[in-house]
Amino acid sequence: MVPIASPSSSDAGRSMIRPRPGGADVGMDTLRPLVEWLADFGVTEHWVVSCYLKLEPRDRTRGKYLIKLKNRARLQLAWLEQRGVSRQERDAVARDLERVREYLEHPDNLPPGQGIAVFACEALELFEAIALPRVFRSRLAVDRSPLIRELAALDDEFGRVLCVAYDRTSARFFEVTAGGVQELTALAATDTTRAGKFHGQRSPTGTSVGSGSAGEHNFHQRIREEKQRHYAAIAARLFELARERHVRGVVLAGIGEASDAVEPHLHPYVSRMLLGTARLNPKAASPSGIMDAVLDIRAQSERRFETQHVAALKEGLGTGWAVNGTADVLVALQHGQVRTLLVDPTVEQQGYRCSITGRLGVTEAACEAEGTAEPVPDVIDEAIEEALRQSGHVEVVEDADARTGIAGLAALLRFRQR
């Protein structure tokens, strides 16, 4: 999605906002420029608030996302006090957290998609809200730099998806990325016979002198041939677009049962990219409607991937290629073993970070001989960030049945355990 507008003029932080790359009203086809811009802040002497929020329908119900935000804000402030951070710095963080909360509590500031990221630091004149197609899970962190690895991972994993919305006379093509939806050149059928009942030929007086069953057959056959030529042209255009761009997937959208009519015409190269089909009126399709359709299709494919990953976990536990349980996963992260991190989104757990090695653990005893055990508000969130730092894949298992076998965290490994 495109970057969201900054807080309104009534917000105290508006005067502190640096211009985002490309200007405030310019959309982007990827998140890369924003990721690079935020990365330029580097490690600073100031505390930066990084907030990722899930905004699925169940999260918006009765403001559940705000309740999660407030609870995490309290934990972060308590964590800063526990670390001995000065009152002045804690007050600055509290003001940033309040700015984030005030911004998100206004429904007009929420994107139509399923996620949002907000970065705030009063001292750095930073307040940036970015609409996202999704987030791994709701997280709130306070660190010396913006936590942008999830932004970069979402941009890479989402990639480019081509969506075509069509009927028998026209087709609209859209390029969908984590940065938004861009409509491409449309395609119109070259020859279209007006659909309807066959009335045969008419005499000058208006009486029917039809051609009998043969004439009606030819009439309907002509319509079928025109449809097939049109669908073949759509498939050819998709093939051209897929060759021009690095495409991660294709979604077909049409009216009723015709939503999959193009599929038999797809080139095998494009057919392998097909994510699914959706029912959508091409003439009424809007960018938000296209994004919703693509997200729904991707969600269905992600549920399949979750099932495959959980099956691989069960097999890997017996062969040494997987681990299950937060403590064991944190050890695997320390050794750089984690290829895919599997996360139960319902679990939150306080943990510790060793002051010398930076290793994460679930108990203070995990840091023996590795320095002081410094508390962290949620070790699950820290594990996600660490896995992203190691270029691992993060899979948040949303399916309730699939995640029953995950003890907080689980992981598929790059190399076997010793």
Same domain assignment for residues 358 and 270: no
What Rg, from alpha-carbon coordinates, does the chain have?
A: 26
Of the residues 143, 158, 173, the one at which a domain ends: 158
Contacts of 412 (CB under 8 A, 6+ apart): 309, 312, 313, 316, 321, 322, 338, 339, 340, 342
Q: Are residues 99 and 146 in the same domain?
A: yes
* Domain boundary pick from 133, 158, 183: 158
> Which residues, in sequence order, are bridge partners of residue 409?
343
Rounded CA-CA distance 212/228 in Å is 25
Distances in Å between the Cα of 53 and the Cα atoms of 56, 63, 113, 126 are 9, 12, 11, 18
Distance CA 171, CA 177 (A): 20
Beta-carbon contacts of 90 under 8 Å, excluding residues fewer than 6 positions away, are 77, 80, 81
| Cα four-point dihedral sign 257, 260, 264, 265 | positive
Same domain, 151 and 185: no
- For 26, half-sphere exposure in the C-beta direction (CA atoms, 13 angstrom radius) is 10
Return the CATH number at 403.
Answer: 3.30.1330.30
194, 174, 193: which is closest to 184 by C-alpha? 174
Tell me which residue has tokens 């699950």. Answer: 380
Q: Which segments within 362-401 are labelled E, that is strand?
A: 373-376, 393-396
- 205/63 Cα distance (integer angstroms): 69
Query: Which structural domain range is residue 241 located in?
Result: 161-196+228-285
Q: 237 and 134, same structural domain?
A: no
Q: Which residues of 65-76 are buried (b: 16+ CB within 10 A; e: fewer)?
A: beebbeebbebb
Find tokens 């039809």 and name the residue: 210
pLDDT of residue 192: 57
Tell me, what amino acid is at 195?
Answer: A
In a domain, 143, yes or no: yes
Would you say residue 63 lies in a domain?
Answer: yes
Q: Do 329 and 390 have their domain in common?
A: yes
pLDDT value of position 202: 52
Report which of 299, 225, 297, 227 is spatially closest to residue 258, judged by C-alpha positions. 227
Q: Is there a single domain that holds both residue 17 and residue 154?
A: yes
Instruction: Please report the pLDDT score of residue 246 as a whole number.
Output: 86
Question: HEC profile for 321-359?
Answer: CEEECHHHHHHHHHCCCEEEEEECCCCCCCEEEECCCCC
Query: 141 pairs with which residues across the strands?
Result: 50
Is the same domain home to 311 and 271? no
**24 and 147, same domain (yes or no):** yes
Residue 187 lies in a domain: yes
Find the CATH number of the domain harbouring 35. Answer: 3.30.960.10
Asked if residue 2 is part of any domain, the answer here is: no
User: What phi, psi does 148 have (nearest 5°)?
Assistant: -110, 5
Q: Any idea what the CATH number is for the domain that residue 166 is in?
A: 3.30.420.60
> pLDDT tens per residue, the chain (418 residues)?
444 544 443 343 333 444 556 543 334 567 888 899 999 998 999 999 999 998 888 888 888 889 989 999 999 999 999 888 999 999 999 999 999 999 999 988 888 778 899 999 999 999 999 988 888 889 999 999 999 999 988 888 888 899 999 988 889 999 998 878 899 999 886 655 555 554 455 545 554 445 555 555 555 566 678 888 889 999 999 999 999 888 889 999 988 777 788 999 999 999 999 999 999 899 988 988 999 899 889 888 888 888 889 999 999 998 999 999 999 999 999 999 999 999 998 898 889 999 888 899 999 888 888 888 888 889 999 999 999 999 999 999 988 888 888 999 999 999 886 6
94 CB neighbour count, 10 Å cutoff:
15
Q: How far apart are the first and last CA of the chain?
A: 44
- Is residue 387 situated within a structural domain? yes
For 327, other C-beta atoms within 10 Å of its C-beta total 17
Same domain, yes or no: 120 and 257: no
* Number of other CB atoms surrounding residue 222 within 10 Å: 12
In a domain, residue 222? The reply is: no
Q: Into how many domains does the chain fold? A: 3
Q: Are residues 88 and 144 located together in one domain of the fold?
A: yes
What is the reported pLDDT for 380? 93
- Could you tell me if 316 and 261 lie in one domain? no
- 208 domain-assigned: no
Strand segments, DSSP code E, in 265-337 are 274-279, 322-324
In a domain, 209, yes or no: no
Q: Are residues 121 and 24 in the same domain?
A: yes
Cβ atoms of 333 and 383 closer than 8 Å: yes
Considering 285, 320, 353, which residue would you say is the last residue of a domain? 285
